[in-house]
Amino acid sequence: MLLENKCAIIYGAGGHIGRAVAQAFAREGAKLFLAGRTLAKLDAVAREISATGGVAETAQVDALDEQALEKHAGEVARKAGRIDVSFNAIGLDDVHGTPLIEMSLDDFSRPVSIAMRTQFLTAKAVAPHMLEKGSGVIMMITATPARLGVPLVGGFSVACAAMEGFSRSLAAELGGKGVRVICLRSAGSPESIPEVMDVHSAALRVTRDEFIALLQERTLLKRLPSLADVGNVAAMMASDYAGSMTGTVANMTCGESVD
């Protein structure tokens, strides 16, 4: 198993992406600490993991609260003896479908602010525990608009680009002490963002299925990454098999963007 004897914190584990990553990490042997604002959703994921033989604990933690994050990370480190991996899958409350010049400043800036605050604070909370052991992996996820010009995505594109920039800077500071920083860039899994798919399909006056088909056609593989793909790639990048990789973006856009 890729993550046997590893301890992982997943922030936003009650959401679609967090759940997929949690399931993949558990399958690969990691002991999980699931964090988020809605305990019922976290507990549901933990029950799924326990039913398949995995180990998961839950905690209600607001990723915008610095003190709460540091307290939780400290508790995990004391209980597990270490923190090997953190994955931030916190939602950004982004607004789609409104042209930038018609969007309010609050709607535009909110996803950027949330992305930077949660990524900065979660990294700051776990990094000292990783540095103490001389190893660890800090992970985050972005999407195609970080690199490509995509209309009607509001501040989401800027938030994604900012996260990728932050991951490089963080990697530069932590790499010499054994801590890796990895970003995943997805083309978007339709099952994880049905509301976003509906907004964009309505803007183009096509059905959701027709819009998804248009997105698939733009990729080299003629498909979009599934949630299972996200979990699988995350598990591989968190594992020692990717031990030489840091300060990089794992491109899992199915060829929508090419590096």
Q: How far apart are CA 125 and CA 138, in angstroms?
A: 11
Domains of the chain: 7-189+226-252 (3.40.50.720)
pLDDT in tens, 173-192: 999 999 999 999 999 999 88
For residue 7, what pLDDT is reported?
Answer: 98
Q: How far apart are CA 179 and CA 42, in angstroms?
A: 27
Regions of the chain where pLDDT drops below 70: none
Neighbour-count burial of 30, counting CB atoms closer than 10 A to its CB (0-12 exposed, 13-18 middle, 19+ buried): buried
Residue entry with tokens 């963007």: 257
Neighbour-count burial of 184, counting CB atoms closer than 10 A to its CB (0-12 exposed, 13-18 middle, 19+ buried): buried
For residue 194, what pLDDT is reported?
Answer: 87
Closest CA to 72 of 81, 85, 60: 60
- pTM to 2 decimal places: 0.95
For residue 100, what pLDDT is reported?
Answer: 97
Q: How far apart are CA 257 and CA 224, in angstroms?
A: 12
Q: Cα 240–78–74 angle (5° rounding)?
A: 90
